[in-house]
Copies of this chain bind each other. A is one copy, B any other.
Amino acid sequence: MRRFIVLGHRAITSAEFKLDDLCGSTGRLDILLRCVNSAFFLSHGIRKDVEIVLMLLGEPSPPKTIRIDGSEVKYLNPDERSTAALIRNALLQKGEGERRCSPGIYVSERDYSEVLSNVSKESKMYYLKEDGQDIRDVAFGEDSTFVLGDDQDLSELEESVLMAYEPKKISLGPISYHADHCVTLVNNELDRKQ
């Protein structure tokens, strides 16, 4: 299993946004949408062994945590707008605990600490960071979780919470990349090592 946890520091936590203005009106939810594309899409299908957790941390009611499970997901298309519509639908689901919104898509109010705590029980944690070890020199086990920010790095507090799980810091190259490009590069490296 490969898992990506992406922190959307200002990502909107209500369904009150326009699909026509994803860049401007959603607290950069558009970045997270592109990460979904990078996480799942192959030329000939969807990656079944991938899960992505989008942490929406913006106004008006943070946190909203969207989990997409590649082994179950349906109705996912590669474009930003249709993925945004799925997320908007998820944000409309009221209730308690983690709720299934559509096949393979779940929403909850789990916060960052709870998400990390749950995941780290079964998965080795990796922190994408410019000063980390080159990913090409790292061996990966069966279950790997990669934590990254949107267009903002993790805050000091977020980083300190993560460091409690002793993540391995890994870097993807000599330049700093957009989050979705990072996901593509991680997937490629793990494809090569499997």
Contact = CB atoms under 8 A, between A and B. Distances in A.
Interface of A: 19-20, 22-23, 30-31, 34, 37-38, 41-44, 77-82, 151, 172-178, 181, 184-185, 187-188, 191-192
Given A19-B20, A43-B177, A174-B192, 15 more contacts: A20-B81, A22-B79, A23-B78, A34-B37, A41-B178, A41-B181, A42-B176, A43-B175, A78-B178, A80-B80, A177-B184, A181-B184, A181-B188, A184-B185, A185-B188
A23 B37 CA distance: 14
A165 to B, nearest CB: 25
A34 B78 contact: yes
A78 B33 CA distance: 12
A22 B84 CA distance: 14
